[in-house]
């Protein structure tokens, strides 16, 4: 989590602070805003809200439930007695009842409640993953666009030098001190440099579109383009700042571990189907019965009945292979599969993180070699300029050294960009990429 804080301690001694700059914090704020507006982040947030609601609904299963009944009937009957008497008329009956069921032991509901809590943890982690992925996408898009602009500027210098070399070769050919083959080679190099610049311009335009997918307006892109002038000399060593970064805090492994918990909870849920289910039932009922007959000798005698009951209801499956034994075996197999997937993910994840570190170290070594080449070429160019001024060397020799320096500068941009992207990827894969981490990253590069 303190990856780039360590960088500030190790490598930022003597660097000027950018706190007073108008663009201080802009890139990290841009990445944070892009992540918050990401559809994937919003979908993950909605999924977390749904998981919380589902967990809350599962808790309601442990509350008592009450059921009320009301009934009213009218029945018309005719009674014939042995003495020939006849009674005819309706019978009215009315009843009302209330039943309360209090859950005492519901093993499956208990396991389902536990799984609901685990699902909330998984949804929270998924939201964190989506947010970090959105941060990484915005930061990498901005970084690629900035370095693309720098590379395009260097390629423009390469085109100018190739054009200059072609003009010198043309003059030598006309003066008779050079050959037509040299002029043709210089022309081919000039056309190749122009084609390379055109290709980089197309790639930079594509990178601009990628940034635009994360931006709110063209003003965001214009401000990012302005930051190209603040790009560092890329002398910073990013690789060593990962030496103490944790490898075990891998966010994909955390997801798989929660999946194992969910599979284990599902197995407990299916196994709980064999256990008894206990409820306390409390009921109260009241019924009213009246007769209205037409024979005077028979009187209408209303009756009222009141009943109260309290009981314990126990239910358990005795023989139900479809809903008990079969699902339990299936859940056990799913748990075993999920555990194997977790073990495999741990191996693959560690290998990938080590690969990122190896790539960082490789880019660091290459960057150091390129810096030495730059220093050597600058020294050679300065010496060659003095030789040209004294008439001991030709201008074409001077231009050739400048072209070599341009090629080294292009390789340096690629190596430095790869290092920066790998550092961002490592933080994201480790689950440590936060807006504060992004700010420290860009501050380390003196962009904020």
DSSP per-residue letters across 222-265 = HHHHHGGGG---S----GGGGTT--SS--HHHHHHHHHHHHHHH
pTM, full prediction: 0.73
What's the confidence (pLDDT) of residue 15? 27
Tell me whether residue 26 is in a domain: yes
Residue 324, pLDDT above cutoff 80? no
For residue 237, give its domain range: 3-63+109-271+325-444
Label residue 198 by pLDDT band (50, 70, 90).
very high
Tell me whether residue 312 is in a domain: no
pLDDT digits (tens, 9 = 90+) for 350-369: 888 888 888 888 888 888 89
State mean pLDDT over 240-254: 58
We report the CATH number of the domain holding residue 416 as: 1.20.1600.10
Tell me whether residue 79 is in a domain: no
Tell me whether residue 287 is in a domain: no
- Which stretch of 4-18, 105-119, 201-215, 306-320 has the lowest confidence by average pLDDT? 4-18
- Separation CA 385–CA 387 (nearest Å): 5
Tell me whether residue 227 is in a domain: yes
- Contact call for residues 242 and 341 (beta carbons, < 8 A): no
Label residue 122 by pLDDT band (50, 70, 90).
very high
Residue 144, pLDDT above cutoff 60? yes
Tell me whether residue 179 is in a domain: yes
Axis crossing angle, helix 26-36 with helix 107-175, rounded to the nearest 10: 130
Tell me whether residue 41 is in a domain: yes
- Separation CA 136–CA 434 (nearest Å): 9
Tell me whether residue 239 is in a domain: yes
How many domains does one find in the chain?
Answer: 1
Beta bridge partners of 71: 95
State mean pLDDT over 52-57: 90
Residue 405, pLDDT above cutoff 60? yes
- Expressed in angstroms, the distance from the first to the final Cα of the chain is 19
Q: Give the position of tokens 């100018």.
A: 160
């Amino acid at each position: 989590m303190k990856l780039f804080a360590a960088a500030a301690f190790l490598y930022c001694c003597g660097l000027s602070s950018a706190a007073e700059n108008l663009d201080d914090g802009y890139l990290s704020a841009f990445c944070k805003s892009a992540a918050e507006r990401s559809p994937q982040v919003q979908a993950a947030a909605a999924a977390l809200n749904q998981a919380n609601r589902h967990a809350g609904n599962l808790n309601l299963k442990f509350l008592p439930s009450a059921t009320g009944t009301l009934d009213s009937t009218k029945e018309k009957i005719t009674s014939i007695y042995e003495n020939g008497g006849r009674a005819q008329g309706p019978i009215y009956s009315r009843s009302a009842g209330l039943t309360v069921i209090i859950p005492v032991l519901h093993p499956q509901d208990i396991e389902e409640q536990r799984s609901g809590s685990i699902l909330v943890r998984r949804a929270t982690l998924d939201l964190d993953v989506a947010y970090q992925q959105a941060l990484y996408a915005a930061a990498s898009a901005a970084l690629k666009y900035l370095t693309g602009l720098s590379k395009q500027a260097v390629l423009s210098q390469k085109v100018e030098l190739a054009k200059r070399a072609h003009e010198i070769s043309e003059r030598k050919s006309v003066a008779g001190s050079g050959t037509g083959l040299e002029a043709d080679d210089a022309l081919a190099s000039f056309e190749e440099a122009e084609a390379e610049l055109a290709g980089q311009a197309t790639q930079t335009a594509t990178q601009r579109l990628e940034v635009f997918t994360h931006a709110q307006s063209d003003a965001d892109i214009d401000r990012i383009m302005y930051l190209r002038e603040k790009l560092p000399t890329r002398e910073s060593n990013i690789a060593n700042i990962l030496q103490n970064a944790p490898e075990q805090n891998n966010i994909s492994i955390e997801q798989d571990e929660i999946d194992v918990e969910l599979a284990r909870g599902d197995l407990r849920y299916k196994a709980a189907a064999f256990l008894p289910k206990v409820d306390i039932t409390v009921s109260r009922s009241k019924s009213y019965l009246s007769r209205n007959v037409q024979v005077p000798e028979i009187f209408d005698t209303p009756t009222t009945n009141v009943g109260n009951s309290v009981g314990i209801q126990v239910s358990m499956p005795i023989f139900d292979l479809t809903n008990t034994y079969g699902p339990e075996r299936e859940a056990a197999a799913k748990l075993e599969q999920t555990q194997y997937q977790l073990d495999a993910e741990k191996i693959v994840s560690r290998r990938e993180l080590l690969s990122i570190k190896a790539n960082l170290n490789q880019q660091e070594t290459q960057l150091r070699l390129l810096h030495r080449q730059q220093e050597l070429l600058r020294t050679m160019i300065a010496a060659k300029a003095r030789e040209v001024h004294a008439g001991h060397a030709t201008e074409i020799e001077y231009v050739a050294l400048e072209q070599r320096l341009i090629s080294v500068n292009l390789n340096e941009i690629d190596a430095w960009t790869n290092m920066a992207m790998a550092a961002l990827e490592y933080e994201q894969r480790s689950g440590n990429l936060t807006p504060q981490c992004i700010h420290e990253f860009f501050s380390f590069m003196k962009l904020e």
